[in-house]
Chains A and B, each alone.
Chain A
Amino acid sequence: MNALQFLTWVRGPGLNIAIGIFMLGVLWRLLEIYSLGRRKDLSAPRRTAGASGLHTVFRRSLPAPGMLKYSPVSYTAGYLFHIGLVLIVFLFAPHILLIQNAIGLSWPGLPSRFVDMITVVTMAAMVAVLVDRINKAPKRFLSTFEDWFAWTVTFLPVLTGWLAVQHLLLPYPTMLALHILSVEILLIVLPFTKLFHAFTLFGSRWYNGQVNGHKGVPV
């Protein structure tokens, strides 16, 4: 299989399969999670100002008091790479083109040089959170295989995409194909790992906020 055949496969059948599994997994997990249900809480709600599902969705985006000082890397680098990922995925011209071709929606992108800069910052932030995870004993102790794995499959698409655009390491077609392949791996594992927080994040925050709000505890 030569580079172009490899590229043709990953952007043809490979991507079809990956998107198929991704959709299957997302619907499966969402339905499974939301159909679990909870027994009705019969106690009288104790409403306290600032205790509700919506409040928690926002409040959990901010560091808890003292936490920013205690774990600065988690918050700053964490924020940086999440925002970076969103910008790269949705505002890089070739990515928009892909989305437009698939579902017909399109929007203006950022200049590729700017996206390039964001990518470097994103990768640096991701490396920082990884180093932090290794260096801090409690984090290292709590880390399982899934944590390392999730980091890797998230980092690889960014790295290979950047290398492809920069024409580094391997010829462009091969690197582009590796980039698409790494995205396919990410798509396939996303619904079945902790990366599914991309979908469940706000729902679970709302749920926790709702339960605690019922008890009169702002969290």
Chain B
Amino acid sequence: MQGSLIDTLARQGVTRRAFLKYCATLASMMALPPAAGRAMAEAMAAAKRPSVIWLPFQECTGCTESITRSHSPTLEGMIFDMISLDYQETLMAAAGHQAEEALRHAMKENAGKYLLIVDGSIPLGQDGAYSCIGGRSNVDLLKEAAQGAAAVIAVGTCASFGGIPKANPNPTGAVSVSDLVQDKPVVNIPGCPPIPVVMTGVLAHYLTFGSLPELDDKKRPKSFFGETIHDRCYRRPFYDQGKFARTFDDEGARQGWCLFELGCKGPVTHNACATVKWNGGTSWPVESGHGCLGCSEPDFWDGGGFYKALSVPADPLKFVAASSVVGAGVGAAVGFANRASKNAARSAHETTTLADLEK
């Protein structure tokens, strides 16, 4: 498909009105001024579709599922038509050498201009042999592809922070994209999987303004990851009132009370689930009655258990038995030492007689 985006969308039956609405929504979601919606629409409509290369590494394809299938045929799905997705193993028709050829071609044709999207972590153990594509290790592929990229977008928690492959004990030596790519702008869009509109929002921002959106200290777009789930949760009033569900089937759970005690990680998780929701705004984890797992935060697998409240440590009394024995031992030893010195003092005591004083 060639030509500008608006033609492509028009061919697919998307009206101008729907397109403008979509752009305005995106702009407001990203907390941009109202005029930005129009700027976005104009820029996107006229945009020549930039080349996008999508490299999958140690991943489960859940991110791809989230971004493509769940929204088809809504606009989120179609926004993909505004980019030229030149390499995406799951979606492309080509396979084998043909696919690798497409990758090489895209990288050569658009050197310095293409967007590189990565999902999955990169294994460094055994010289990267844990995950290879076309006989080449992931780390090798990433370094080559990142060299010619305008920017790298790490999609999903694995690419952003290492995710489940990096979970303790990290058998493959998995690392995140930003661990390896330091000389290019990197945007992290974490989540397991990430929210589709976050990704399209970042792409739209890039197309409109030619730059990446404002990022937080973990390189996540501030507009989507600026607040915690807890801050935006519709169950927050129950937390403030101290009304908690204590099991998944008690009265509190039926009344929709706060899931903090059931291990909700909302207070420490930055994501937009509470406002954007999932499946076209149908619902989201907390609304479905399950606490937040904290999937958009680094090392959420090793956060001490999904069903343990944030205030509850995994195994706080681990050393208590041993330390009690040691403490009692030390106490008894010091006690005996004190007694011994007291007895020594007593036996060293010499009775003073009147004669001694008169000496």
Residues on A facing B (Cβ under 8 Å) = 2-5, 7-8, 11-12, 15-17, 19-21, 23-32, 35-37, 93-95, 97-98, 101-103, 109-113, 167, 172-173, 176
Contacts and interface: CB of A to CB of B under 8 A. Distances in A.
Nearest to B328: A27
Nearest to B228: A172
B76 interface: no
Cβ-closest 3 pairs across A and B: A31-B331, A35-B335, A20-B319
Given A4-B268, A7-B268, A27 B324 contact: yes
Given A32-B335, A113-B242, 18 more contacts: A16-B313, A16-B317, A16-B318, A20-B318, A20-B320, A23-B320, A26-B327, A28-B330, A28-B334, A32-B331, A32-B334, A32-B338, A95-B311, A97-B309, A98-B312, A101-B312, A112-B239, A113-B241
A14 to B, nearest CB: 9
B120 to A, nearest CB: 21
Specify which of B312, B327, B328 lies most central, judged by the most chain A CB atoms within 10 Å of its CB: B327
Contacts of A12: 304, 313-315
Nearest to A4: B297
A4 B300 contact: yes
Given A31-B331, A93-B242, A19 B320 contact: yes
Query: Chain A binding site: helix, strand, loop or mixed by DSSP?
Result: helix
A9 to B, nearest CB: 10
Interface of B: 218, 228, 230-231, 239-242, 244, 260-261, 267-268, 294, 297-300, 302-304, 308-320, 322-324, 326-328, 330-332, 334-336, 338-339
A55 to B, nearest CB: 29
A167 B230 CA distance: 11
Contact of A15 (B260, B316, B324, B336): B316
Contacts of A94: 260, 309-311
B335 A31 contact: yes
A93 B244 contact: yes
Contacts of B268: 3-4, 7, 172-173, 176
A107 to B, nearest CB: 13
Specify which of A3, A26, A109, A173 lies most central, judged by the most chain B CB atoms within 10 Å of its CB: A173
Nearest to A34: B335
A28 B324 CA distance: 9
Nearest to B319: A20
A149 to B, nearest CB: 22
Contacts of B310: 7, 11, 94, 176
A8 B311 contact: no
A24 B304 CA distance: 25
23 contacts: A2-B299, A4-B298, A5-B299, A8-B299, A12-B304, A19-B320, A20-B319, A20-B320, A23-B324, A24-B330, A27-B327, A27-B331, A28-B327, A31-B331, A32-B331, A32-B338, A35-B339, A97-B261, A97-B311, A102-B313, A111-B241, A176-B267, A176-B268
B252 to A, nearest CB: 12
A141 to B, nearest CB: 32
A11 B319 CA distance: 14
B320 A97 contact: no
B341 to A, nearest CB: 11
A112 B324 CA distance: 34
A6 to B, nearest CB: 11
B313 A11 contact: yes
Nearest to A179: B311
A19 B241 CA distance: 30
A2 B218 contact: yes
B324 A24 contact: yes
A98 B309 CA distance: 8
A93 B319 CA distance: 25
Contacts of B335: 31-32, 35-36
A20 B315 CA distance: 12
A208 B303 CA distance: 49
B335 to A, nearest CB: 3
Contacts of A172: 228, 230, 267-268
A113 B26 CA distance: 37
Contact of A102 (B240, B316, B323, B336): B316
